[in-house]
Amino acid sequence: MSNDSTKKMVTVALGVCLVCSILVSTAAVALNARQEKNKESDKIKNILIAGELMQEGIDVKAVFDSKVQPEIVNLQSGEFLPESDYNAKLDPATFNVKVMADDPDYGTAIPADKDLARIRRMPKYMTIYIVKVNDQAEKYILPIYGKGLWSTLYGFLALNSDLQTIEGITFYEHGETPGLGGEVDNPRWKEIWKGKQVFRENGEVGITVIKGQVDPDDPDAQYEVDGLSGSTLTTRGLDAMVKFWLGDSGYGPFIRGHRIQKEEINEQG
Ligand SMILES: Cc1cc2nc3c(=O)[nH]c(=O)nc-3n(C[C@H](O)[C@H](O)[C@H](O)COP(=O)(O)O)c2cc1C
């Protein structure tokens, strides 16, 4: 067979393709564990950022382990799940929002009229992260997720121990356009959230991501966050997502229960 015969060229091309595909699949399998580990470490970093515990050069895992206490919340009752009820799936160390939302036992479909965040399914339990100082809860870091324009955004909303004042927001995974919806990662925009109030006096969720900029003289300014410019659809998604997770289908029962408990403790003390 001569070197430029069609058969030989096709055989060589197929051979090269086969070798390359074996190399790529081997690399993908070999790197999968490392990618998962990196994703987990990125998530932990974002929990620390939301809780304002992140600094250059720190040992992320050590700070997380010493200052942050994960707890599993039953979203319907709003109560913490006792450790004695943890199992292979319900374990803060391995809790994965996406896996739990799809789980036939631990996930649930969201009725369309309640699905503000457009996520269709959600876990019945969520792992939340409590920043403790001298054994007292200082901040509650709540996982949130919902649809933007192109993607589902996954992040954390940090509330002060009053469960009313926002301490921070971060997103560790999304596919919005850099410079547009991707501005959710812009530290200046994230800064705007700090100090905003979540619930109105009547108990309704007040926090709103508006289109445009907040007028500081507006009496509602304490509940309002600037939208992302040129990104109305991501902005709407963010607004719907925070309303969903702070509402009755999300952390509403947990937040109400904890605020009542705190008021009772304060009254007794
Ligand atoms: C390539 C491209 C990427 C875009 N990415 C986003 C995005 O990530 N988020 C978003 O809300 N809008 C994005 N848009 C704009 C939307 O299509 C839409 O025009 C915009 O949300 C309307 O916002 P406005 O009313 O503030 O102009 C993108 C548009 C283009 C052409």
Question: Which is the closest atom of ligand 1 to the Cα of 237?
Answer: 11
Question: Which is the closest atom of ligand 1 to the Cα of 235?
Answer: 11
Output the pTM of the full model. Answer: 0.86
pLDDT of 214: 96
Cα(181) to ligand 1 centroid in Å equals: 7
Give the H/E segment covering residue 22. Answer: helix 6-50
Exposure of 232 by Cβ count < 10 A (0-12 exposed, 13-18 middle, 19+ buried)? Answer: middle
| Phi, psi (rounded to 5 degrees) for 168 | 175, 165
Ligand 1 mutation target, pool 232, 236, 238, 239, most atoms within 8 A of CB: 232
CA 42, distance to chain mean position in Å, is 12
Two structure tokens written together for 113: 């009229």
pLDDT of 176: 97
pLDDT of 260: 78
State the chain's maximal CA–CA distance in angstroms: 95
pLDDT at residue 259 is higher than 90: no
Question: What number of other Cβ atoms are within 10 A of residue 117's Cβ?
Answer: 25
Cα(240) to ligand 1 centroid in Å equals: 17
- Mean pLDDT value of segment 241-248: 97
Nearest CA to ligand 1 atom 25: 232
Is 222 within 8 Å of 196 (Cβ atoms)?
yes
Any residues with Cβ below 6 Å from ligand 1, and which?
149-150, 176-177, 180-181, 230-234
Q: How far apart are CA 157 and CA 169, in angstroms?
A: 5
pLDDT band at residue 1, thresholds of 50, 70 and 90?
Answer: low
DSSP secondary structure string for all residues of 70-137: EEEEETTT-PBPPGGG--SSS-TTT--HHHHHH-TTTEEEPPGGG-TT--SEEESEEEEEEEEETTEE
Collapsing DSSP to helix, strand or coil, 44 comes out as helix
pLDDT 10s digits, 138-191: 999 999 999 999 999 999 999 999 999 999 999 999 999 999 999 999 999 999
